[in-house]
Structures are given as structure tokens and as C-alpha cells.
């Protein structure tokens, strides 16, 4: 079914309440000033007004399921530790020893019974209480009257994800996420495990990353190889708080793609993912998306996966959420693609792109993560081993697969122009409505002081 929405036709498919358009939010047609992309004073204010007052995605529940499991989360100038405490609750601490300020935890993830500072071996319980000051008799008692526990920060979990906030007075996480939480909960991310985790430094402002990942307008120019199997004219929904979502129809060629009929090699991959043998497929490229939906639904029913809760669109397409400020989540019933755009400690012209793929292993089921996610064949998909984070430095090809490598090459080029005196600020189309929405929330929070 094709219906007219905004300024372009959308192939949304079978109607379903999940797909219903969110009420419109109109941010007008203004042109924001560009210093947000490069100014150091802007970045400093942004850290204090936005990052220090938001819920920030720190890790996944899969990394902190058992008592003593911890994950380190670095962002901007800060580092935090999320840990499952002895009483089963989640705690977060600044990753700072109260003695001399040393970082306490250097590993990315792991499991421990207590924290020991690498500098003078002070020890702390999982809940942050100091349990040992080395040579405590050499301290005057008045010195140890000062608080020498770890500094806590807010930590809450929702939809299988763990968030922290430096703002002690912030509203509960579930209120913060309310506009999209019921949708995220459908995917049961808590039962998935990280099967791949990569982190690379890119030469652009973190918002350059957010912006590039929140629109499909650039696909034809930067990722032309996606045109044969991805429809880039999509439904966009905006929610209060700077949140948004977008459906990207898969197994459906872009209207820009010249051959709308042949089942091309890209679509064949998507058919195979759904358990359809492309050699026996009788339909055209206009039928493949519906065939994928139907095959996935039948397979899920046979395996008893409870996928009746998903719309057809959710089965075939990428359903992508933006979480203000710096997170995007690509949701699929089989697997979830997490993206974080992490600001640099001091340089507004750099950020760290952090990406995880989460997958739910079902013993004996003929299921796999979508092939387009490009997972290596030798990965442990069972969730038994937590993979190490694979890091690449600035300027190194990140090895994230063709599409993401293309973005990593392009973003420094965009950043270089955005820093120029000649750039007067972005001009956004309605295909970039999620960008306008994100920047409107950013402006609102920056102006709040």
C-alpha cells in the first residue's frame, strides 16, 4: 500500500497500530548557527547543560547481569563504573578513587568482588563503600573523617539498557524514556547479548555523527550500494524530548533505483535471511518485502517466538530510534544495533563512535542476525563469551563494514566545511526532520542555562 505523506510516497505496508504516525511536531524552518559543531565554548556549555543533565546510555543489562559484573563507561572528560551490587541493585560510581583521584577501573567489562585502586590499593565494596585504606594508621583520624567512599551517580535500567545521570535530581529514567519506552520494550533487549562491540575515533563533532545517522537522504550519494535493497523514502515520527523514530523499508529498492523489478543480489540476501530460497522465488523486487514479512512471521510461529506483537514493518524493516542526546538504536526482532556518539573530552572536532550488536541466541532455532549487519562468521553468537571491544584510532579505517566506513570517511569532510567561516548553518529538508527535532531540543536545553 502506498499513501501520500508529507512530500513523498512511503511504502509502509500493512496498517498496524505500531506504525501509526506520531502527532506532528513543527519546529519551523529556521537555520541554526553553526558554532555548535566546532566551538570550544559551545562544547563546554553543552557538557554542563546537556550531558550533565541527561540520562546517558552506559551499557547493556547483559554486561551487568550477575553480582560483581561491571562495565566502564567513558564519555567526554568523565569515566563511570556501572556494577551489579550484592543486593542485586545496579550502582554507578564515578571511576575515581577518593584518595588522589586515580581511575579505579581500567578494564572495559568484567566481574569482581571489590574495587582496588591501582595507585595505593585502597579498596571499595561494590556499593562504593570504602572497605580498606592501606596503612590507615598513618592518616590523622580527622583526614579520614572526610567522605572516602566512591562518588555515586544515578543509575537505572529500562528495556534491557542501563543509563546513568550526573544530575541527582533528574526525573526517573522511565519518565525520560516514556515517549518510546513501550516500543523499545517489545524487543526484549534484556534477553540479548553483545556479540560484537567496536569503538573508533572519528574526526567530527559528535552531532555530525548523530545527524548523519538520523537521515536516509545521503544514502544515494554516500552509500549507492544500498539503493537496490533499501527504500530511502521513509516514515519519520517525532516524540517529545528530542526522541524520534524512522522505518527504513528493507528488501524494497529505493524509488531512485532504476530497476524496480529484478530480484537483485541485495534483495536475495534479505530473502535468504527470512529462510526463502531466492532461486525458487517467483515474485519481483516489488513483492520481496512482503514475502520476507510473511516468511519471518511463519517461521516465528513455528518456533513459538511470540512475534505476533510485531507489525509486518518491524519484521522486515529497520526501525531506528533516536534517544536524546547521543544514542541511536536500530531495532529488529532478531537483533539490535546500538550506536553511541560520544563527545571527546576536549576537542569538539572529534568524537568516538561506539557500536554494539546485541543478539538473542535460541538453541536449535534456524535463526541468525540479519546478514546486512556484517557480523564476522567466527563470532560466538551464543552469548557465552563477551567479546572484547575492538578499537581503532583517528584516521584509521575503522573496519566497520562498507557502509559505516563510508560514513567515517565522509564525516571529517563535512566537519571541515562546517567549521568554515563560509558555512552559515544547516538547511534541512523534511527528510531531515529528525535532525531539526534533535537540534530544537538541544537549543531548548542550551537556552535553559
* Site for Fe ion, rule CB under 5 A: 407
Strands 78-84 and 90-94: antiparallel
CB nearer to Fe ion: give 54 or 406: 406
| CB-based closest residue to Fe ion | 407
CB of 306 to Fe ion, least distance (A): 33
CB of 185 to Fe ion, least distance (A): 28
CB contact at 8 A, 312 and 324:
no
Round to whole Å and give the CA distance between 449 and 442. Answer: 11
365 to 131, 305, 324, 337, 413: CA distances (angstroms): 47, 10, 36, 21, 44
CB nearer to Fe ion: give 157 or 407: 407
CB of 311 to Fe ion, least distance (A): 25
CB of 216 to Fe ion, least distance (A): 8
In this structure, the number of other CB atoms found within 10 A of the CB of residue 327 comes to 21
CB nearer to Fe ion: give 221 or 377: 221
CA angle 119, 123, 126 (to 5 degrees): 125
50 to 47, 135, 252, 328, 343: CA distances (angstroms): 6, 41, 38, 17, 12
Write out the three cell numbers for 221: 550519494
CB nearer to Fe ion: give 211 or 407: 407
CB nearer to Fe ion: give 9 or 402: 402
CB of 406 to Fe ion, least distance (A): 6
Round to whole Å and give the CA distance between 70 and 338. Answer: 19
CB of 218 to Fe ion, least distance (A): 6
Which of 248, 431, 407 lies closest to 341, judged by CA? 407
CB of 135 to Fe ion, least distance (A): 55
CA 293 vs. chain centroid, Å, equals 25
CB of 226 to Fe ion, least distance (A): 9
Round to whole Å and give the CA distance between 354 and 331. Answer: 17
CB of 425 to Fe ion, least distance (A): 21
CB nearer to Fe ion: give 129 or 225: 225
Give the long-range contacts of residues 217-221, CB within 8 A, separation 24 or more: 217/429, 217/431, 217/432, 218/410, 219/254, 220/254, 220/256
Residues contacting 317, CB < 8 A, separation 6+? 247, 248, 249, 250, 289
Paired strand residues for 358: 194, 336
184 DSSP assignment = H
Strand, helix or coil for residue 248: strand
CB nearer to Fe ion: give 407 or 432: 407
CB nearer to Fe ion: give 75 or 400: 400
CB of 45 to Fe ion, least distance (A): 28
CB nearer to Fe ion: give 127 or 405: 405
CB of 433 to Fe ion, least distance (A): 17
Write out the three cell numbers for 19: 506504525
Which of 345, 320, 326 lies closest to 445, judged by CA? 326
Helices (H), 83-191: 173-176, 181-185
CB of 222 to Fe ion, least distance (A): 5
Round to whole Å and give the CA distance between 154 and 166. Answer: 7
CB contact at 8 A, 309 and 301:
no
CB nearer to Fe ion: give 334 or 407: 407
CB nearer to Fe ion: give 165 or 322: 322
CB nearer to Fe ion: give 95 or 226: 226
CB contact at 8 A, 198 and 375:
no
Q: Which helix (H) or strand (E) holds 164?
A: strand 161-165
Amino acid at each position: 500500500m502506498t499513501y501520500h505523506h508529507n512530500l513523498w510516497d512511503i511504502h509502509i505496508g500493512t496498517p498496524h497500530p505500531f506504525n501509526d504516525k506520531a502527532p506532528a511536531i513543527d519546529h519551523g524552518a529556521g537555520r541554526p548557527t553553526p558554532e555548535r559543531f566546532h566551538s570550544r565554548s559551545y562544547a563546554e556549555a553543552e557538557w554542563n547543560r546537556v550531558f550533565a543533565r541527561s540520562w546517558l546510555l552506559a551499557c547493556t543489562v547483559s554486561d551487568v547481569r550477575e553480582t560483581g559484573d561491571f562495565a566502564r563507561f567513558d564519555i567526554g572528560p568523565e569515566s563511570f563504573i556501572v556494577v551489579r551490587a550484592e543486593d542485586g541493585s545496579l550502582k554507578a560510581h564515578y571511576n575515581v578513587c577518593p584518595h588522589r583521584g586515580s581511575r579505579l577501573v581500567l578494564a572495559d567489562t568484567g566481574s569482581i568482588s571489590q574495587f582496588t585502586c591501582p595507585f595505593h590499593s585502597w579498596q571499595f565494596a561494590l556499593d562504593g563503600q570504602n572497605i580498606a585504606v592501606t596503612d590507615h594508621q598513618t592518616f590523622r583520624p580527622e583526614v579520614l573523617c572526610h567522605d572516602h567512599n566512591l562518588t555515586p551517580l544515578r543509575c537505572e535500567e529500562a528495556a534491557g539498557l542501563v543509563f546513568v545521570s550526573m544530575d541527582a535530581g533528574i526525573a526517573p529514567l522511565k519518565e525520560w524514556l516514556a515517549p518510546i519506552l513501550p516500543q523499545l520494550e517489545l524487543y526484549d533487549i534484556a534477553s540479548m547479548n553483545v556479540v560484537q562491540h567496536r569503538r573508533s575515533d572519528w574526526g567530527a563533532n559528535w552531532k555530525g555523527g548523530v545527524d548523519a545517522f538520523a537521515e536516509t537522504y545521503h544514502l544515494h550519494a554516500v552509500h549507492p550500494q544500498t539503493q537496490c535493497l533499501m527504500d530511502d523514502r521513509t516514515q519519520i515520527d517525532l516524540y517529545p524530548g528530542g526522541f524520534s523514530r524512522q522505518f527504513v523499508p528493507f528488501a524494497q529498492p529505493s524509488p531512485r533505483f532504476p530497476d524496480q523489478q529484478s530480484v537483485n543480489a541485495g534483495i536475495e540476501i534479505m530473502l535468504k535471511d527470512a529462510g526463502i530460497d531466492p532461486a525458487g522465488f517467483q515474485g519481483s523486487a516489488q513483492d520481496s518485502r512482503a514475502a520476507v514479512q510473511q516468511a519471518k512471521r511463519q517461521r516465528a510461529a513455528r518456533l513459538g517466538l511470540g512475534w505476533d506483537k510485531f507489525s509486518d514493518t518491524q519484521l522486515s524493516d529497520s526501525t531506528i530510534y533516536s534517544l536524546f542526546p547521543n544514542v541511536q538504536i536500530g531495532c529488529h526482532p532478531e537483533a539490535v544495533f546500538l550506536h553511541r556518539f560520544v563527545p571527546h573530552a576536549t576537542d569538539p572536532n572529534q568524537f568516538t563512535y561506539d557500536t554494539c550488536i546485541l543478539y538473542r541466541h535460541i538453541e536449535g532455532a534456524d535463526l541468525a542476525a540479519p546478514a546486512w549487519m556484517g557480523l564476522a562468521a567466527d563470532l560466538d553468537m551464543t552469548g557465552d563469551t563477551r567479546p572484547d571491544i575492538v578499537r581503532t584510532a583517528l584516521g584509521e579505517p575503522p573496519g566497520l563494514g562498507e557502509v559505516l566506513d563510508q560514513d567515517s570517511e565522509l564525516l571529517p569532510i563535512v566537519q571541515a566545511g562546517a567549521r568554515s567561516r563560509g558555512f552559515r548553518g544547516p538547511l534541512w529538508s523534511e527528510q531531515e526532520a529528525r535532525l531539526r527535532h534533535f537540534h530544537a531540543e538541544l537549543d531548548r536545553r542550551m537556552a535553559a542555562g
